[in-house]
């Protein structure tokens, strides 16, 4: 087998192959949490007749997915992280966004594609589950679906805003020079605009 044939068999950078991931264990764990909550909800009644068991397992998987995505997968796969701070004096809440420095961490195209695809597909699947529950008149399942929608949409919105913050900060920093004081001030000012 010559080099051209071997190269033709290799997946292209950015293609959806977990083998190209910079963090394959993080990526596979992230995808397992994203898929398992929907799978337990959708296929659960075929395995067991206990609605309570399915509800509890799905909630636990959704909570684990929310935590893992927010604190581990987002930072390792795309260099983004967010959290919510409450000012103790006023009680005001604001979202804080953090992104890795553009020159320090190189984002793998495969990790990024998997991350953003999973971020937007999962809420869409939960919307489909809500429509299915309403169409079948399974009103008892709607609270679980609404909890799933709240958690997945919250993470999707937060990471989308975090990505916009990251792009705006990088643009402001590069326009004025990241090593200069002016570049640092510009990045901080743009960052304040995106704090909720």
DSSP string, 2-27: -HHHHHHHSPPTTSS-GGG-SSHHHH
pLDDT at residue 95 in the model? 83
What element of type H or E holds 98? strand 93-99
Q: How far is CA 74 from the centre of its chain?
A: 6
Helix, coil or strand: residue 74: helix
Closest CA to 143 of 30, 45, 68, 51: 51
Q: If DSSP states are collapsed to H, E and C, what string results for 143-190?
A: HHHHHHHHHHHHHHHHHHHHHHHHHHHHHHHHHHCCCCHHHHHHHHHH
pLDDT at residue 119 in the model? 94
116 token code pair: 């953003």
The percent of residues in the chain predicted with pLDDT above 90, rounded, is 40
45 Cβ contact list (under 8 Å, min separation 6):
51, 54
**Least confident among 22-26, 98-102, 136-140:** 98-102
pTM here is 0.74
Higher-confidence residue: 64 or 110?
Answer: 64
pLDDT at residue 178 in the model? 46
pLDDT at residue 110 in the model? 85
Q: How far apart are CA 183 and CA 101, in angstroms?
A: 13
18 Cβ contact list (under 8 Å, min separation 6):
24, 27, 28, 31, 110, 114
Closest CA to 99 of 172, 40, 43: 172
Whether the predicted pLDDT of 196 surpasses 50: no
Whether the predicted pLDDT of 192 surpasses 70: no
Helix, coil or strand: residue 102: coil
How confident is the model over 130-176, as pLDDT tens digits? 999 899 888 888 999 999 999 999 999 999 998 887 776 555 455 54
For residues 73-99, average pLDDT:
88
Q: How far apart are CA 35 and CA 74, in angstroms?
A: 17
């Amino acid at each position: 087998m010559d080099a051209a044939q071997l190269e033709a068999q290799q997946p292209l950078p950015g293609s959806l192959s977990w083998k190209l991931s910079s963090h394959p264990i993080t990526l596979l764990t992230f995808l397992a949490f994203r898929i398992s909550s929907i799978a337990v909800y959708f296929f659960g009644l075929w395995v067991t007749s206990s609605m309570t068991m399915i509800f509890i397992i799905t909630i636990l998987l959704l909570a684990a997915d929310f935590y893992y995505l927010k604190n581990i997968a987002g930072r390792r796969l795309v260099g983004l992280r967010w959290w919510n701070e409450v000012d103790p004096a006023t009680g005001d809440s604001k979202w804080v966004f953090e992104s890795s420095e553009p020159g320090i961490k190189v984002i793998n195209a495969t990790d990024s594609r998997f991350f953003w695809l999973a971020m937007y597909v999962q809420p869409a699947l939960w919307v489909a589950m809500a429509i299915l529950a309403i169409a079948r008149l399974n009103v008892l399942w709607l609270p679980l679906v609404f909890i799933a929608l709240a958690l997945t949409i919250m993470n999707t919105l937060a990471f989308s805003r975090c990505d916009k913050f990251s792009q705006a900060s990088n643009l402001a920093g590069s326009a004025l020079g990241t090593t200069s004081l002016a570049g640092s001030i510009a990045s901080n000012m743009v960052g304040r605009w995106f704090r909720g």
